[in-house]
Amino acid sequence: MIIVTGGAGFIGSNIVKALNQSGEDDILIVDRLGTSDKWKNLADLSFMDYEPKEQFLPKVEQGVFDHGTKAVIHMGACSATTERDADYLMQNNFAYTRRLATRFAAKDQIRFIYASSAATYGDGSQGYCDEHRCVPALKPLNMYGYSKQLFDLWALKTGFVDRAVGLKYFNVFGPNEYHKGDMRSVAIRAYAQVKKTGKVRLFKSYRDGYRHGEQSRDFIYVKDAVRVTLFFLERPQLNGLFNVGTAAPRNFNDLAASVFAALGKDPAVEYIDMPDGLEPRYQYYTAATPEKLRQAGFTGGFSSLEDAVHDYIVNYLEKDPRGEEAVG
């Protein structure tokens, strides 16, 4: 059995779908569905069982899943970079992951892969180095990033990272992010804006060297992020922290142009002021360093921004009823 926490969420549900496509359906999905429409991400997936996250951890600590589990892919977390409840993030992202890892740490036969985040890099002033020696110097800009940083540091200090994989996902976008509200990617929000108003709104730049809309991100299509994740699932001899990004950052003007192109429309962009208080915490540039992932043997390419946005819009947002819900 493979356990996927956050299996009804954005990246988690895409991982389960990819596992299904490879013939694997002996899967336990762990999540909290609540009152959102996240349950819809489960509708076309094949899995053996579902466990609410609150009930899952006590069973783990009782040893219920010690036998028969091949791997734990831990994607479950609060991913809201705007979440202000620090105690909640400490419990949900750091303490929960630590307790889960502690139980499985001594189980050499169980593969453990967890989601870290590029948010740990903060403003990028310390670079985007995923070598273990670089991690202690990182300074996240928000509590979400700090909660992820804390677990990375714990994994390094205890040696857990030497028998597990932590994946620092950069700016992932793609199918099944409908339920994420304000945390949806710029791609789906730009799509919704174009459908509703005919134009895309982007933040103005307040930094020398960056024109409006030239702020850049390492955008990675969720299908590519999943391929990297399953690469490590299939290679239990590889452990450590790894960046998951294209290493080819693109700016928001490029992203907007890709959305308009996929919809067959001429670009129309409006630049707006940033909300009060955001500018000091705003990242103007992110880019994964690819060397460590390549050295591990991952030779797969990544979708171009244009191809990924086209696939996302034409084959998902335009065909899935939830694409219209995103517009409302």
Tell me which residues are annotated as active site: 144, 180
DSSP at 297: T
Task: Report which of 260, 255, 258, 252 is spatially closest to residue 194, judged by C-alpha positions.
Answer: 260
What is the identity of the amino acid at 61? E
**What backbone phi and psi angles, to 5 degrees, belong to 244?**
-125, 90
93 to each of 7, 26, 149, how far by Cα in Å?
A: 15, 26, 10
Query: What is the β-pairing status of strands 49-52 and 200-203?
Result: unpaired
Cα–Cα distance, 53 to 295 (Å, whole number): 35
Cα–Cα distance, 84 to 96 (Å, whole number): 18
CA dihedral 268, 271, 274, 280 (to 10 degrees): 110
